[in-house]
Amino acid sequence: METQVYNQKGKAVGSLALPEAIFGLSWNADLVHQVVTAMQANARTPIAHTKFRGEVSGTGKKPWKQKGTGRARHGSQRSPIWRGGGITHGPRNDKSYEQKINKKMAAKALFTVLSEKARKGQILFVDEIVMSKIKTKDGVEVLNNFKSIKGFEKMGAAKNKKGIYLTVPAKSENIKKSFANIKSIEVDEVRNMNPVDLLAYRFIIMAQPKESFAFLGGKLEKKVAKK
Protein backbone atom coordinates (compact mmCIF):
# COMPACT_ATOMS: atom_id res chain seq x y z
CA MET A 1 0.00 0.00 0.00
CA GLU A 2 1.50 3.30 -1.12
CA THR A 3 0.58 6.88 -0.35
CA GLN A 4 1.67 10.35 -1.37
CA VAL A 5 4.06 12.37 0.76
CA TYR A 6 3.79 16.17 0.83
CA ASN A 7 5.93 19.02 2.07
CA GLN A 8 4.70 21.82 4.33
CA LYS A 9 3.85 23.91 1.27
CA GLY A 10 1.24 21.33 0.25
CA LYS A 11 3.20 20.01 -2.74
CA ALA A 12 3.67 16.30 -3.46
CA VAL A 13 7.33 15.29 -3.10
CA GLY A 14 7.12 11.54 -3.57
CA SER A 15 5.43 8.33 -2.50
CA LEU A 16 5.81 6.10 0.51
CA ALA A 17 5.07 2.42 1.15
CA LEU A 18 2.96 1.96 4.29
CA PRO A 19 3.91 -0.96 6.55
CA GLU A 20 1.22 -3.65 6.43
CA ALA A 21 1.69 -4.42 10.13
CA ILE A 22 0.65 -0.85 11.01
CA PHE A 23 -1.68 0.25 8.22
CA GLY A 24 -2.97 -3.06 6.85
CA LEU A 25 -5.18 -4.27 9.71
CA SER A 26 -8.91 -4.84 9.27
CA TRP A 27 -11.36 -2.95 11.46
CA ASN A 28 -11.97 -4.58 14.86
CA ALA A 29 -14.65 -2.60 16.69
CA ASP A 30 -14.67 -4.85 19.75
CA LEU A 31 -10.93 -4.52 20.34
CA VAL A 32 -10.90 -0.76 19.80
CA HIS A 33 -13.93 -0.27 22.09
CA GLN A 34 -12.37 -2.36 24.85
CA VAL A 35 -9.06 -0.48 24.77
CA VAL A 36 -10.64 2.98 24.43
CA THR A 37 -13.10 2.50 27.29
CA ALA A 38 -10.31 1.11 29.49
CA MET A 39 -8.08 4.11 28.73
CA GLN A 40 -10.91 6.52 29.49
CA ALA A 41 -11.59 4.70 32.75
CA ASN A 42 -7.91 4.90 33.72
CA ALA A 43 -7.94 8.64 33.05
CA ARG A 44 -11.03 9.15 35.19
CA THR A 45 -10.68 11.17 38.39
CA PRO A 46 -13.55 10.54 40.83
CA ILE A 47 -14.75 13.79 42.38
CA ALA A 48 -18.28 13.21 43.73
CA HIS A 49 -18.22 11.83 47.26
CA THR A 50 -21.00 10.77 49.59
CA LYS A 51 -20.82 9.65 53.21
CA PHE A 52 -21.78 6.31 54.69
CA ARG A 53 -23.98 6.16 57.79
CA GLY A 54 -20.85 5.87 59.92
CA GLU A 55 -19.42 9.11 58.51
CA VAL A 56 -22.36 11.52 58.80
CA SER A 57 -22.74 13.67 61.89
CA GLY A 58 -25.48 12.89 64.37
CA THR A 59 -26.15 11.03 67.57
CA GLY A 60 -25.99 7.28 67.83
CA LYS A 61 -28.83 7.28 70.35
CA LYS A 62 -31.90 5.22 69.53
CA PRO A 63 -34.64 7.72 68.46
CA TRP A 64 -37.33 6.03 70.60
CA LYS A 65 -37.88 2.79 72.38
CA GLN A 66 -38.33 -0.37 70.35
CA LYS A 67 -41.94 -1.09 71.24
CA GLY A 68 -45.06 0.60 72.50
CA THR A 69 -44.96 3.87 70.55
CA GLY A 70 -46.93 2.73 67.49
CA ARG A 71 -44.16 3.90 65.24
CA ALA A 72 -41.73 1.91 63.12
CA ARG A 73 -38.64 0.49 64.74
CA HIS A 74 -35.46 2.56 64.28
CA GLY A 75 -32.01 2.27 65.75
CA SER A 76 -30.26 5.42 64.50
CA GLN A 77 -30.97 8.79 62.96
CA ARG A 78 -27.95 8.23 60.71
CA SER A 79 -29.74 5.42 58.90
CA PRO A 80 -29.91 5.88 55.08
CA ILE A 81 -33.72 6.00 55.22
CA TRP A 82 -33.62 9.09 57.41
CA ARG A 83 -33.25 12.60 56.11
CA GLY A 84 -29.69 13.71 56.82
CA GLY A 85 -28.57 10.11 57.18
CA GLY A 86 -25.89 8.25 55.28
CA ILE A 87 -26.10 7.52 51.56
CA THR A 88 -26.40 3.95 50.28
CA HIS A 89 -24.40 3.04 47.16
CA GLY A 90 -23.51 6.68 46.47
CA PRO A 91 -20.44 7.85 44.50
CA ARG A 92 -17.12 7.76 46.36
CA ASN A 93 -13.90 9.56 45.46
CA ASP A 94 -11.86 6.64 46.79
CA LYS A 95 -13.26 4.25 44.18
CA SER A 96 -10.78 2.99 41.58
CA TYR A 97 -11.97 2.69 37.98
CA GLU A 98 -8.63 1.39 36.74
CA GLN A 99 -8.69 -1.35 34.12
CA LYS A 100 -5.78 -3.43 32.89
CA ILE A 101 -4.75 -3.02 29.25
CA ASN A 102 -2.37 -5.56 27.76
CA LYS A 103 0.42 -3.91 25.75
CA LYS A 104 -0.29 -6.16 22.77
CA MET A 105 -3.95 -5.14 22.79
CA ALA A 106 -3.11 -1.44 23.10
CA ALA A 107 -0.67 -1.60 20.18
CA LYS A 108 -3.09 -3.53 17.96
CA ALA A 109 -5.93 -1.12 18.75
CA LEU A 110 -3.66 1.81 17.82
CA PHE A 111 -2.68 0.19 14.52
CA THR A 112 -6.32 -0.74 13.82
CA VAL A 113 -7.39 2.89 14.12
CA LEU A 114 -4.43 4.03 11.99
CA SER A 115 -5.38 1.47 9.35
CA GLU A 116 -8.99 2.68 9.29
CA LYS A 117 -7.92 6.32 9.09
CA ALA A 118 -5.57 5.50 6.21
CA ARG A 119 -8.33 3.64 4.33
CA LYS A 120 -10.62 6.66 4.69
CA GLY A 121 -7.90 9.01 3.45
CA GLN A 122 -7.75 10.93 6.73
CA ILE A 123 -3.98 10.71 7.29
CA LEU A 124 -1.69 13.25 5.66
CA PHE A 125 1.98 12.28 5.48
CA VAL A 126 4.38 15.24 5.49
CA ASP A 127 8.10 14.81 4.88
CA GLU A 128 9.01 17.46 7.46
CA ILE A 129 7.60 20.48 9.25
CA VAL A 130 10.14 23.16 10.07
CA MET A 131 9.40 26.29 12.08
CA SER A 132 12.40 28.64 12.29
CA LYS A 133 10.64 30.69 14.96
CA ILE A 134 7.52 30.65 17.11
CA LYS A 135 4.83 32.37 15.08
CA THR A 136 1.13 31.55 14.87
CA LYS A 137 0.93 33.19 11.44
CA ASP A 138 3.39 30.61 10.09
CA GLY A 139 1.31 27.79 11.59
CA VAL A 140 -1.85 29.12 9.93
CA GLU A 141 -0.01 29.36 6.61
CA VAL A 142 1.09 25.71 6.84
CA LEU A 143 -2.49 24.58 7.54
CA ASN A 144 -3.79 26.63 4.62
CA ASN A 145 -1.23 24.92 2.40
CA PHE A 146 -2.50 21.53 3.51
CA LYS A 147 -6.09 22.56 2.73
CA SER A 148 -5.14 22.83 -0.93
CA ILE A 149 -4.51 19.06 -1.05
CA LYS A 150 -7.37 17.02 -2.47
CA GLY A 151 -9.34 15.29 0.31
CA PHE A 152 -8.13 17.67 3.02
CA GLU A 153 -10.05 20.80 2.01
CA LYS A 154 -12.11 20.70 5.22
CA MET A 155 -9.09 20.34 7.46
CA GLY A 156 -9.24 22.75 10.38
CA ALA A 157 -12.81 23.93 9.73
CA ALA A 158 -13.92 26.53 12.29
CA LYS A 159 -16.90 24.47 13.43
CA ASN A 160 -14.75 21.40 14.04
CA LYS A 161 -12.74 22.31 17.12
CA LYS A 162 -11.08 18.87 17.15
CA GLY A 163 -10.10 18.68 13.53
CA ILE A 164 -6.38 17.89 13.32
CA TYR A 165 -3.95 15.76 15.30
CA LEU A 166 -0.32 16.49 14.34
CA THR A 167 2.35 14.01 15.38
CA VAL A 168 6.08 14.64 15.30
CA PRO A 169 8.89 12.16 16.08
CA ALA A 170 10.57 14.44 18.62
CA LYS A 171 9.50 17.36 20.77
CA SER A 172 9.77 20.77 19.09
CA GLU A 173 8.86 23.91 21.00
CA ASN A 174 8.75 25.98 17.81
CA ILE A 175 6.20 23.66 16.20
CA LYS A 176 4.09 23.17 19.32
CA LYS A 177 3.88 26.87 20.19
CA SER A 178 3.32 27.97 16.61
CA PHE A 179 0.12 25.91 16.56
CA ALA A 180 -0.82 26.50 20.22
CA ASN A 181 -3.31 29.31 19.52
CA ILE A 182 -5.10 27.39 16.76
CA LYS A 183 -8.03 25.58 18.38
CA SER A 184 -8.54 23.04 15.63
CA ILE A 185 -5.10 21.38 15.96
CA GLU A 186 -3.30 19.40 18.65
CA VAL A 187 0.47 18.75 18.44
CA ASP A 188 2.02 15.76 20.18
CA GLU A 189 4.94 13.35 19.89
CA VAL A 190 4.36 10.07 18.08
CA ARG A 191 5.24 8.14 21.27
CA ASN A 192 2.12 9.59 22.91
CA MET A 193 -0.19 8.56 20.08
CA ASN A 194 -3.15 6.50 21.30
CA PRO A 195 -6.56 5.31 20.01
CA VAL A 196 -8.52 7.79 22.15
CA ASP A 197 -6.81 10.82 20.60
CA LEU A 198 -6.87 9.42 17.07
CA LEU A 199 -10.63 8.84 17.23
CA ALA A 200 -11.24 12.29 18.72
CA TYR A 201 -9.74 14.05 15.68
CA ARG A 202 -10.92 13.77 12.10
CA PHE A 203 -7.57 14.26 10.36
CA ILE A 204 -4.12 13.02 11.30
CA ILE A 205 -0.94 14.73 10.09
CA MET A 206 2.14 12.55 10.46
CA ALA A 207 5.38 14.48 10.06
CA GLN A 208 8.58 12.62 9.18
CA PRO A 209 6.70 9.36 8.53
CA LYS A 210 9.79 7.15 8.16
CA GLU A 211 10.99 8.03 11.67
CA SER A 212 7.44 7.57 12.99
CA PHE A 213 7.14 4.16 11.32
CA ALA A 214 10.45 3.12 12.86
CA PHE A 215 9.20 4.02 16.33
CA LEU A 216 5.82 2.28 15.86
CA GLY A 217 7.53 -0.76 14.35
CA GLY A 218 9.72 -0.94 17.43
CA LYS A 219 6.64 -1.80 19.46
CA LEU A 220 6.10 -4.87 17.32
CA GLU A 221 9.75 -5.93 17.53
CA LYS A 222 9.69 -5.74 21.33
CA LYS A 223 6.66 -8.01 21.49
CA VAL A 224 8.24 -10.58 19.16
CA ALA A 225 11.42 -10.54 21.25
CA LYS A 226 9.45 -11.17 24.46
CA LYS A 227 7.81 -14.25 22.94
Query: What is the tens place of the pLDDT at every residue in 162-198?
Result: 789 999 999 899 999 999 999 889 999 999 999 999 9
Tens digit of each residue's pLDDT (9 = 90 or more) over 151-166? 998 886 655 557 899 9
**Confidence at residue 13, expressed as pLDDT on a 0 to 100 scale:** 93
Phi–psi pair at 41, nearest 5 degrees: -65, -40
Which residues are within 8 A (CB) of 67 and not within 5 positions of it... i.e. 6 or more apart? Answer: 73
Average pLDDT of the chain to the nearest whole number: 91
Tens digit of each residue's pLDDT (9 = 90 or more) over 118-129? 999 999 999 999
State the span(s) of the chain assigned CATH 3.40.1370.10: 2-37+99-226
Is-contact 128 169, C-beta < 8 A?
no
Q: Strand runs (DSSP E) across 25-151, as ranges?
A: 123-126
What is the mean pLDDT of the segment spanning 92-101? 93
- Give the number of C-alpha atoms closer than 13 A to the C-alpha of residue 117, restricted to the C-beta side: 26
**Confidence at residue 222, expressed as pLDDT on a 0 to 100 scale:** 55
Run of H or E residues at 186? strand 185-189
Q: At what angle do helices 103-119 and 29-42 cross, to 10 degrees?
A: 120
- Of all residues in the chain, the percent with pLDDT exceeding 90 is 86
Please, what sign has the CA dihedral across residues 12, 18, 24, 30? negative
Tens digit of each residue's pLDDT (9 = 90 or more) over 48-77? 999 999 999 998 899 999 999 999 999 999
CATH architecture of the domain covering 2-37+99-226: 3-Layer(aba) Sandwich (3.40)
**Confidence at residue 86, expressed as pLDDT on a 0 to 100 scale:** 95
pLDDT at 224 over 60: no
